[in-house]
Structure 1
Amino acid sequence: MKSRLLILMAYLTGWTGWLLVSRVLFLIYQSQTSQLNPAAIAGVFANGLRMDLSTAGYLTMIPALLITLLPNWSSPKLARSLRIITLIELIVVSLITVADLEVFRTWGFHLDITPLHYLTSPREAAASVAASPILSLTTLFVGMLLVGDYYFKRLIHPLLLRLNPIRWWVATPLLLTATAALVIPIRGGLQLAPMNVSAVYFSPVAFANYAAVTPQWNFMHSVLERNKYGKNPFSFFPKGQASRTLKPLFQPVRNQQSLLTNPKPNVILIVWESFTAKTVAGLGGRAGVTPEFEKLSHEGILFNQLFASGDRSEKGLIALLSGFPAQATASIMTLPTKSAKLPTLGEKFRKAGYETSFYYGGETEFANIKSYLYHNQFGRIISKPDFKSSDWNSKWGAHDHVVYSRILSDLSGAKQPFFVSLFTLSSHEPFEVPMPTVFSGTDEESLFLNSMYYADRSLGEFIAQAKKQPWWANTLIVITADHGHRLPVLSTDRVRDFHIPMLWLGGALKAKPQVIDRIGSQTDLAATLLHQLKVDATDFKWSRDLLNPQNRPFAYFAFNNGFGVVQPNRHLLFDNTSRQLISSNGVIQKQDIELGEAYEEESYQDFLNK
């Protein structure tokens, strides 16, 4: 039994070491390595180790199952079988390692299924390969096979020959437990989010993050995802018609209304988890849930007809920070190779001379948020590990008031101008908050309302303290939501689930308190804000300036394989599967549905093109 467990450990450590050496070869091969200082190089190995262990866990799984399920095989037979399996794995892993070296050097991204597309054009593929150092790469490939096989023969093979057959009821339970334990390194640990690319991102230097990614894991993930996003499933119109249908929605800005005392204020963007308009009495919601926000809404500029672009946090962050609409059957944040091609507010602010930072009390590895944040070029990313565990709730991370306090502390004496983005989490399920119950009851709706009350109270305390800071006079604070929520249940109209507030306030506002009732989307924040800062917003092609009177009032949102469209005096929800309206309000005409279909077709095609 002990020998069998030692074999499993030898496989796991052997593959981990093999991948470690591969990372050394990658850094030697790539010229960008000269950009990295010793601390960054150390970070590449320290952070990449989690993905190496995950990959090694996958590679160990097949030998582990063979040893576990066939405990009475003879040693020579088991040794021969495992050597064949190991050799096959070595060939595949070594081939990916060698190919990745040249793919990254040439194209700047890790090997995925993209090069496989060229196999349909052999002549072009051969021309692309011709410029590569084939002899050197082949020599390296053969050398890696020989080294891997040598390790097997010297360390694993002797252990296999010493095995004696044992009865299955003695060996199988313990070995199955050991095999099942491989799930821990495979998923990257015991944290909420399983292993993904964001788990190894750690640096504002893009190449350092790329170097921390294990090529074999990246390729395997790409293969598994290959069939999800092919042709556009939402092609409803002849070529060019959808684009022409959408053109009237996007009008150039004329006679820009200025709301600010100067075009370069500090900006704090607060993205409030699940902040539905149904909890704001002034927006037709339930009274007494968000009294602090109600009070603040009379001090600033309230956009009362804003709608979330999607129904998940990662879609809302993309909509706010990149002005990119949510997709009905995909999430671009979960695909770093695509989200890396989006324009971002973080990058715009940094180029404009701002100090940038992002705060979140939870795990930024979730849904690949971290990779997207680094693409935003945030100078500092503060997340769950930066807070005491005593300040965490049971599931997600640090409570809102703790994160607000950290922001106030960090901004004391901070260089200006700054752009700070905060993503709250206390109003996320399981709705645990560090305060006495305000809404009695243990049902889900009562817990949700209680968490919203706490989030509102934390916001009010933060604003009260912010007003005392020297930077307040030159600061714009934007408060909005990542998405709406199905709770509280006020009606059967699902459009209300996507209705969210947005409030601008702060010392940098020169405009008097007012309500702007023009219908718009989360995606419109980017253009509206950047135009106020006199910064070009052309890259944000889906974002419309909410202050532009020439723009037609309109909001589009996506949910699971469906979309919604909101226009003056009417709105609709449409199901893609049945090709029918789910619900509607007001007089809906054929062109209203076609407008939504055109938006869905064009935005999804843009997603595919990234």
Structure 2
Amino acid sequence: MELLPRRPDRLFPVLLRWMAIGMLSLLAHRLVFLFMYVFQAVRLEPELQDGAVASVLKALFVGLRFDLATLTIWIGPFALLLSLTAALYALPAARLRYRLLNSLFFHAQWIWLLWLHLVSVASTYNFSVNGKHLGWEFAAYFRDLPVLLAGSFVKDPVPTTMLALFIPVWVGAGFFVDRRLSVHAGAADGHPNPGRKALLTALLSPLVVLIAAVVLFRGGLQQNPLRPGDAMSESSPFLNNLKITGTYLIVHDLSDRGDFKTFYPPEENTAFVQRMLNDGRPFVDPQYPLLRRMEARRRMPGRFATIAGPGLPGRPDRQPNFVVLLMESWSAKFLESHGYSAEVAPNFNRLAHQGVLFENFYASGGRSANGLFSILTGIPDRAGRTILRSSRIFNRFGSLPLLLKKKGYQTLFVHGGDLHFDNLDTGLPHLGFDHLAGMKEMEDSGLYSRRWTMGFHDEDMYDMLLRKTDELYAGAPERPFFAMAFTSNNHHPFGLPDPSFAIFPESDPEAAFKNSYHYSDYALGKLIDIIRTKPYFQNTIILIVADHSHHANLDYLQDREIPLLVYAPSFFQPERRTDIAGQLDLLPTLLSLSGGDSPYAAMGRDLTVPAERPFAFFAGGSNTDIIGMMRDGFIYYHYLRSSQSILLKGTHPVDMRDMQAEQPQLAVELDAMTKHYYQFARSLEKENRIWPESISE
């Protein structure tokens, strides 16, 4: 069994053997995890009681992708070092050092594998403590690793001992049987004139190994890279953790550690943010410091407001339906309300005069995932990698769809693009959506044929939305529904179904974006006109909001500005709201409009209730390294990595002067608010303390 290449042309067979060692090792860990927890899982998780064998086999099969990705961590450094020594072999002066270096790398790899093996044992045991593999906890529990290992030996001595012996025995056996690892090299080992094959391998091997490692770690050549969230597709924690490995989770979580920066002691942080969010509703559980209860609300006719009362009168169907239209890259810059000509978005501008328009509304992040997550959970997303792409999306959230489902609502999400992007296909059901329709569902229906780069055009997506809401209403007219539709045409490369929508000339540097904006506005107007004919329209509140701005050719304030339009003529008179608000405010606002009378945990405010000094928080944007706060006509930025900050004017016209010296007290206040707010969100995310496992109504 050759575990080190004698010559460069033997490199790839040796690496295949090491891959086999790694895969067998990972399989051993997975089988031990299965043996330790499967019986408990079948007993405690009802979904496993029927078809447990098929579910387990499927999870083991899916886990192969994560094993291959984990190989790049287990074997990758060793493979890369061997490939570099192979390249040295092409240099005559370096050939004498070739075997010595390989021998050193072999022993380093043995120690590395042993270490990763022990970490994996601890990760397997961690499932019995925290219900998951090690991730961010690895850094927090590093000093406690011996305790975790000892706990694993005490809890399950036989499988843990077998694992503890597996890698040393396996690699040690290979070491002793490989006679070619002797210190003295044979004549062939030090051959002064290597053949062309050996030289070609020596030159190409680093590039080949590097490309292979990248492909394996990203899970293949598909558009979306493999992510921890891809393993979290089941309601069973056992099955989800059976698919993935602790090593893979640790690497992903440690790469996000900049987002979990700590500025203040935990107790001080909690008290500060609770004061920020204080609206008279008490926080009810120290373990879940966001948890509050909203009193029963009833609508005040003609105003976008609610007052405390006995709840909505009449039957359950008096609760309003909600339709949230999430508009891709719908920058407020091009709207009439923000000083632009009416020709880009004539339909939105018309509707704005008939609804409640928030003129100072801001995105909570800079990407679609940030906006979607903030709206649905009331929690700000990370400045770096979105929670939707991490395993934390399967934390407990008191999300808007889940809260509304408890009040009798049906839930629907429709998108013309690929729902696998940003883990929407697995994350959205966890957040409470019972019905999903994306590009695949639209394609399978056979009703739509117009495709572009991002999927189906907005008109067709809206048609699917109408068909689905018709089904929900026809199937249970007594039950309200919450439907969300996510557009795509305003996304780069700015698709148009017909050249007639290209009303701006190519000489206009923003023509491509404005033309797609115009088409998206056309589809929006068409949708609203059809909804107005539906039997459920009189009892429906439509919210039109962007996911984020389009980031191009915008000043720092425009980069945050997006519209919120509440369109419900049978509920509210037209109104222009000028108070500061943001996407985080939508969860408590819709919960209030649904009648309140519910627990909730969100970091936004109820927009139907006046606020003395409203603010809007954001994390990420054109620059993903920033967090910030808008209040009192100013915008404050803090850069997470460099720890720099800047205070700018938060009204038009913008001014690039840093005003911290002119407004020192305000700068200090906004700095504290920004850092406390972000730390609080990330701390609760990390510790899974946003929403309790069970809650009394």
TM-score when scaled to structure 1?
A: 0.82
Q: Deviations over 1:297-336 (max 9, x none)?
A: 3444333332222333232223211112356678555554
Specify the alignment match of 2:248 in structure 1. 217
Among residues 349, 353, 356, which one is paired with 1:301 in the alignment? 356
2:410 aligned residue: 355
1:54 to 2:69 alignment: yes
Measured against aligned partners, the alpha-carbon deviations of 1:28-56 in whole angstroms (never above 9, x if no partner) come to 32222553335543542344333222112
Higher mean C-alpha deviation, range 172-181 or range 127-136 = 127-136
Partner of 2:33: 26
Q: Which secondary structure does the structure 2 equivalent of 1:480 belong to?
A: strand
Question: 2:204 & 2:146 partners in 1: Cα distance?
Answer: 53
**Maintained 8 Å contact 1:276/1:485:** yes
Pairing of 1:343-492 with structure 2 (within 5 A): 343-363=398-418, 372-384=427-439, 386=441, 388=443, 393-394=452-453, 396-414=454-472, 415-416=475-476, 417-436=480-499, 437-441=502-506, 445-487=510-552, 489=554, 492=555
Partner of 1:221: helix, strand, or coil?
Answer: helix
Tell me the amino acid that sits aligned with residue 363 of structure 2: A
Shift in alpha-carbon separation, 1:476–1:13, aligned structure 2, 3 A: farther
Q: Is the 8 A contact 1:518 1:546 kept in 2?
A: no
Instruction: For residue 269 of structure 1, report the CA deviation from its aligned partner.
Output: 1.9
Deviations 1:453-475 (A, max 9, x none): 12222223333444455554544
Alpha-carbon deviation of 1:186?
Answer: 1.4
**1:323 alignment partner AA:** G
Equivalent position of 1:246 in the other structure:
276
1:546 aligns with 2:607: yes
Q: CA deviation at 1:382?
A: 4.2
Q: Residue 381 and residue 23 in structure 1: after superposition, are their counterparts in 2 closer, same or farther (change >3 A)?
A: farther
Partner SS for 1:268: strand
Q: Deviations over 1:393-440 (max 9, x none)?
A: 44x444433433333344442344433323323212232333312222
**C-alpha displacement at 1:146, in angstroms?**
4.0
| 1:92 equivalent in alignment to 2:115 | yes
Query: What is the DSSP-based 3-state SS (H/G/I as helix, E as strand, rest coil) of the residue aligned with 1:175?
Result: helix
Q: CA deviation at 1:480?
A: 0.6
- Separation in structure 2 between the aligned mates of residue 398 and residue 11 of structure 1, nearest angstrom: 45
Question: How far is the alpha carbon of 1:104 from its aligned partner?
Answer: 0.7
Residue 532 of structure 1 pairs with residue 593 of structure 2:
yes
- Higher alpha-carbon deviation: 148-157 or 349-358: 148-157
Displacement of 1:451 after TM fit?
Answer: 1.8
**Of 375, 385, 388, which residue of structure 2 is paired with 1:320?**
375
- Give, in whole Å, the separation in 1 of the partners of 2:510 and 2:55: 47
Between the aligned partners of 2:542 and 2:261, the Cα distance in structure 1 is 40
Q: Does 1:179 align with 2:245?
A: no
Instruction: For residues 498-524 of structure 1, give each alpha carbon's deviation from its aligned partner in whole angstroms, at most 9, with x where no partner exists.
Output: 2221223358x4334444444322111
Partner Cα separation in structure 2 for residue 332 and residue 250 of structure 1 = 30
Question: What is the one-letter code of the residue matched to 1:209?
Answer: N
Tell me how far apart the structure 2 counterparts of residues 379 and 156 of structure 1 sit (CA, whole Å): 61
Number of equivalenced pairs? 601
Matched with 1:189 is 220
Please say if 1:501 is aligned against 2:558.
no
Name which of structure 1's ranges 216-225 and 333-342 shifts more when overlaid on structure 2: 333-342
Cα offset for 1:108? 0.8
C-alpha RMSD of the superposition: 4.4
Which secondary structure does the structure 2 equivalent of 1:504 belong to? strand
Q: Distance in 1 between matches of 2:154 and 2:581?
A: 51
Question: Of 584, 588, 594, which residue of structure 2 is paired with 1:523?
Answer: 584
Equivalent-residue separation in structure 2 for 1:217 and 1:572 (angstroms) = 38
Q: Secondary structure at the match of 2:359?
A: strand
Aligned with 1:563 (options 600, 606, 628): 628
Q: Is 462-471 or 514-523 further displaced after alignment?
A: 462-471
Is the Cα contact below 8 Å between 2:549 and 2:562 reproduced in 1?
Answer: yes
CA contact 1:308–1:484 (8 Å) conserved in 2: yes
8 A contact 1:199–1:370 mirrored in 2: no
Give 1:527 deviation, angstroms. 0.7
Shift of residue 114, structure 1, vs aligned partner: 1.7
Q: Which residue of 1 aligns with 2:200?
A: 170
Moved more, 522-531 or 316-325: 316-325
Deviates most, 458-467 or 305-314:
458-467
Query: Over residues 80-122 of structure 1, what are the superposed CA-to-partner deviations in whole Å (9 max), with x where a residue is unaligned?
Result: 6675455345423432332222111221121124255345579
Offset from partner CA, 1:125-184 (integer Å, 9 cap, x none)? 7996686334541233324654677799999999xx999964553213443453233121
Deviation readout 1:228-277 (Å, 9 max, x if unpaired): 53422x79x98788458636667787975446995534333221122122
Which amino acid in the other structure matches residue 29 of structure 2?
A: S
Contact 1:334–1:367 (Cα < 8 Å) also in 2: yes
Q: 1:113 to 1:454 in 2, by over 3 A?
A: same
Q: How has the CA–CA distance of structure 1 residues 600 and 184 changed in structure 2, closer, same or farther, with 3 Å as cutoff?
A: same
TM-score by length of 2: 0.73
In structure 2, what is the equivalent of residue 581 of structure 1?
A: 647
Distance in 1, Cα, partners of 2:219 & 2:109: 23
Matches within 5 A, 1:78-227: 84=107, 87-114=110-137, 117-118=140-141, 120=143, 132-134=155-157, 136-143=159-166, 146=169, 166=195, 169-182=199-212, 183-226=214-257
In 2 relative to 1, CA 292–126 (structure 1 residues): closer, same or farther, beyond 3 Å?
A: same
Look up the equivalent residue of 2:30 and give its one-letter code.
R
Identity %: 26
How far 1:608 sits from its partner (Å)?
A: 3.7
Q: Which amino acid aligns with 2:209?
A: T
Q: For residue 687 of structure 2, what is the aligned residue in structure 1?
A: none
Bigger shift: 324-333 or 402-411?
A: 324-333
Greater alpha carbon shift after TM alignment, 60-69 vs 72-81: 72-81
**Residues 630, 636 of structure 2: 8 Å contact kept:** yes
Deviation at 1:4, TM superposition (A): 4.2
Q: Secondary structure at the match of 2:608?
A: coil
The letter for the 2-side match of 1:498 is R
How many Å separate the matches in 1 of 2:504 and 2:467? 32
Task: Note if contact 1:336-1:371 (Cα within 8 Å) is conserved in structure 2.
Answer: no
8 A Cα contact 1:204 1:378, kept in partner? no
* Alpha-carbon distance change, 520 to 200 in structure 1, aligned in 2, over 3 angstroms: same
Structure possessing the higher radius of gyration over alpha carbons: 2
Cα distance between partner residues in 1 of 2:592 and 2:256: 38
| Structure 1 unpaired stretches of 5+ | none
Instruction: Determine helix, strand or coil for the equivalent of 2:349.
Output: helix
CA distance in 2, matches of 1:206, 1:513: 48
Task: Say if 2:404 and 2:591, in contact at 8 Å, map to a contact too.
Answer: no
Q: Does the C-alpha gap of structure 1 residues 114 and 156 become closer, same or farther in structure 2, counting only changes over 3 Å?
A: farther
CA separation of 1:483 and 1:59: change in aligned 2, threshold 3 A: same
Secondary structure of the residue aligned to 1:495 is coil
In 2: Cα distance, 1:7 partner to 1:445 partner: 55
Q: Distance in 1 between matches of 2:162 and 2:152?
A: 16
Alpha-carbon distance in 1 for matches of 2:177, 2:108: 17
Deviates more, 1:449-458 or 1:141-150: 141-150
